[in-house]
Amino acid sequence: MSGTEPVTLVVRGATVVNADWQGRADVFVSGETVAALAAPGTPVPGGAGAAEIDASGLLVLPGGVDPHCHVGFTSGDYTSLDDYRQCTTAAVFGGTTTIVDFAIPRPGERPADAARKQRDKAARGVCDSALHGCVVEWDDTTADQLAEMSAAGVRTVKMFTTYRGESMADEDTILRTMKTLRDLGGMVVIHCEADHIVSDTQTRCAAEGRIGAGHMAATRPELAETASVAEILAIAESVGAPVYFVHQSTAEAVELVAAARRRGVRAYTEAVAHHLVLDDSVYAGEHPERFVCCPPLRPRAAVEALGRHLFTGEVSTIGSDHCCYDTAQKEERHHDVRVMPNGLPGVETRLPVVFSEYVVGHGLEPTRFVELTAANPARANGIYPRKGAVLPGSDADIALWDPGARWRVRAEELHMATDYTPYEGRELTGRPVTVLVRGRVVVRDGVLVDGTPRGRHVPSGPIPARL
In the complex, the residues that contact ligand URP under the rule CB under 6 A are: 70, 191, 293-294, 321, 323, 342-343
Q: For 301, how many CA atoms within 13 A lie in the half-sphere containing its CB?
A: 1
Q: How far is the CB of 195 from ligand URP (least distance, A)?
A: 12
Q: Are 390 and 62 in contact (CB under 8 A)?
A: yes
Pick the closer one to ligand URP by CB: 294 or 443.
294
Partner touching 149 among Zn ion, ligand URP, none, CB below 5 to 8 Å by kind: none
Which of helix, strand or coil describes residue 393?
Answer: coil
Which of helix, strand or coil describes residue 252?
Answer: helix
280 scored as a contact of Zn ion (CB under 5 A): no
Q: How far is the CB of 198 from Zn ion (least distance, A)?
A: 12
191 scored as a contact of Zn ion (CB under 5 A): yes
Pick the closer one to Zn ion by CB: 22 or 173.
173
DSSP 179-233: HHHHHHT-EEEEE---HHHHHHHHHHHHHTT--SGGGHHHHS-HHHHHHHHHHHH
- Phi and psi torsions of 81, nearest 5°: -90, 0
Partner touching 298 among Zn ion, ligand URP, none, CB below 5 to 8 Å by kind: none
76 scored as a contact of Zn ion (CB under 5 A): no
Q: How far is the CB of 376 from Zn ion (least distance, A)?
A: 18
Beta bridge partners of 96: 64
Nearest to 416 by CA among 355, 327, 285, 331: 327
HEC string of 282-298?
HHHCCCHHHHCCCCCCC
CA 304 – CA 276 distance, rounded (Å): 7
CA 245 – CA 254 distance, rounded (Å): 9
Pick the closer one to Zn ion by CB: 28 or 163.
163
Would you give the distance in Å from CA 277 to the centre of its chain? 15
Pick the closer one to Zn ion by CB: 70 or 440.
70
Partner touching 444 among Zn ion, ligand URP, none, CB below 5 to 8 Å by kind: none
Pick the closer one to Zn ion by CB: 148 or 280.
280
298 scored as a contact of Zn ion (CB under 5 A): no
Q: Are 346 and 321 in contact (CB under 8 A)?
A: yes
What does DSSP assign to residue 323?
Answer: -
Pick the closer one to ligand URP by CB: 101 or 314.
101
Q: How far is the CB of 395 from Zn ion (least distance, A)?
A: 25
Q: How far is the CB of 200 from ligand URP (least distance, A)?
A: 19
Partner touching 431 among Zn ion, ligand URP, none, CB below 5 to 8 Å by kind: none
Partner touching 104 among Zn ion, ligand URP, none, CB below 5 to 8 Å by kind: none
Q: How far is the CB of 118 from ligand URP (least distance, A)?
A: 15
Residue 74 has a CB neighbour count (10 Å cut-off) of 13
CA 357 – CA 273 distance, rounded (Å): 10
Instruction: Give every strand in the sheet of 22-24, ordered side by side.
Output: 22-24, 15-17, 59-62, 398-408, 427-437, 440-444, 447-448
What is the H or E stretch that residue 277 is in?
A: helix 273-277
287 scored as a contact of Zn ion (CB under 5 A): yes
Q: Are 317 and 300 in contact (CB under 8 A)?
A: no
Partner touching 287 among Zn ion, ligand URP, none, CB below 5 to 8 Å by kind: Zn ion
Partner touching 293 among ligand URP, Zn ion, none, CB below 5 to 8 Å by kind: ligand URP
Pick the closer one to Zn ion by CB: 422 or 430.
422
Pick the closer one to ligand URP by CB: 70 or 330.
70
Q: How far is the CB of 73 from ligand URP (least distance, A)?
A: 7
Pick the closer one to Zn ion by CB: 287 or 454.
287
Name the burial class of residue 207, with classes exposed (0-12), middle (13-18) and buried (19+) by CB atoms within 10 angstroms of its CB: exposed
Pick the closer one to ligand URP by CB: 340 or 396.
340
Which residue is at the shortest CB distance from Zn ion?
191
Partner touching 342 among Zn ion, ligand URP, none, CB below 5 to 8 Å by kind: ligand URP
| Binding residues among 306-325 for Zn ion as defined by CB under 5 A | 321
371 scored as a contact of Zn ion (CB under 5 A): no
Which of helix, strand or coil describes residue 370?
Answer: helix
The residues that touch Zn ion, with contacts defined as CB under 5 A, are 191, 287, 321
